[in-house]
Amino acid sequence: MRVLQITDCHLHTDLEWKLAGINTQISFDSVMSLAAQQKSETDLLLLTGDLVHDASAAGYTRLRNYVQEFGVQACCLPGNHDDPELLARHMEGGLVNVPKEVKLGNWLIVMLDSTQLDSEGGHLNEQELQLLERSLSENPGRHALIALHHHPIHIKSAWMDKMALDNPEAFLSILDRHENVKGVIWGHIHQTFEAEWHGIRMMGTPSTCIQFVENQDKFGISMDAPGFRWLELLPDGQINSGVDRIAALPPGLDLKTTGY
C-alpha cells in the first residue's frame, strides 16, 4: 500500500498570504503537482496538520475541494495552527475524511490529535492514549503506522524540541507493548528526520512551504525546497519511505524571518 504524507501547508484565507516571504498556496500547488506524478500508484493521502494557518472555514473548504479534485482517498489530522473542530467540520466529505483509524490491506493507521489549546507544543490526552491502546489491542494481526502532528522524540534542535510532545513516555510505552507497531510519522518540524525507537521507524517530514534548519538550537530558515514523504507499506510489515522535493524553492524566501 502506498501513502503520501502532506504536511504543514500553512494555507490561508488570503491566496496572496506569505510565510517567511513564500506564498504558501503557490508552494502547496507545486508540491501537489509533483505528488500527482505518483497518483496512479497512491492508495492514500495523509495530511498531518498545520493545514490552514488562520484555521478558517474558507481555508479548510478550499483545501477539501482541492484534495477532492486530486482524486485519491485522503485523511487529515490537526496541528497546532489548526482548529480541530473546524477542520473536522469543513474537511469531512467525499474522498476526504478525519478518521481515527484507517485500514489498508493488512495495515492499520492510527490518527492521533496531539494539539492542545493555545499552545504550540503537543500533548496526547487520556482519550487519545486510550484510543491508541485500544486500536492496537483490537488489531494484533495488522501492522500499525501511527500518525500525529508533534514529534514524540527530540530532533537535536532545542527551539523546536521545546514544542515537542510533552508526554512522550506515555505514548512510547504503549508502542513498546505492541509488537505490531512498525512506524510513526509526524509533521511540525518542517524538515526530514529519520530515527528508530526499539525497532520502530520514526519519521519527520518537510513542509509544503518553508523548511527549518536541521540540528540547530536556534530558529533558522533553510534553503531546502518544499516536499512530501512517500511510504510503501509492505505486506510483511516493512516500510519503504523517502522524501521527494520540488526542483527549486519558490521565490521570495526571507531568511531574516525570526519566527513563524
pLDDT on residue 210? 97
Task: Give 171's contacts (C-beta < 8 A, 6+ positions apart).
Answer: 124, 129, 132, 152, 165
For residue 259, is pLDDT > 90? no
What is the average pLDDT across 235-256? 94
For residue 257, is pLDDT > 90? no
Angle, in degrees to the nearest 10, between helices 57-70 and 84-91: 40
What is the average pLDDT across 76-100? 96
Q: Say which amino acid occupies 117.
A: L
Which CATH number, 2.60.120.620, 3.30.365.10, 3.60.21.10, 3.20.20.70, labels domain 2-245?
A: 3.60.21.10
Task: Give 131's contacts (C-beta < 8 A, 6+ positions apart).
Answer: 100, 110, 112
Average pLDDT of the chain is 96
What is the average pLDDT across 151-171? 97
What is the average pLDDT across 89-114? 96
pLDDT on residue 48? 98
Cα separation values, 177 from 79, 88, 139, 172, 221, Å: 26, 30, 13, 9, 38
Cell numbers found for residue 8? 504543514
How many Å separate Cα 5 from the centre of its chain?
A: 6
pTM of the model: 0.96
pLDDT on residue 256? 85
Longest Cα pair distance anywhere in the chain, in angstroms? 50
Coarse DSSP helix, strand, coil percentages of the chain, rounded to the nearest 5 percent: 25, 30, 45
d(CA 65, CA 54): 18
pLDDT tens profile 3-47: 999 999 999 999 999 999 999 999 999 999 999 999 999 999 999
Task: Give 38's contacts (C-beta < 8 A, 6+ positions apart).
Answer: 2, 4, 230
For residue 225, is pLDDT > 90? yes
For residue 255, is pLDDT > 90? no
If you write DSSP's letter for every residue of 115-183 in order, what string do you get?
Answer: --TT-SSB---HHHHHHHHHHHHH-TTSEEEEE-SS-SS--S-HHHHTTSBS-HHHHHHHHHT-TTEEE
pLDDT tens profile 121-144: 999 999 999 999 999 999 999 999
For residue 67, is pLDDT > 90? yes
Question: From the CB of residue 39, how many other CB atoms can be counted at a distance below 10 Å?
Answer: 13
For residue 70, is pLDDT > 90? yes
For residue 182, is pLDDT > 90? yes
For residue 75, is pLDDT > 90? yes
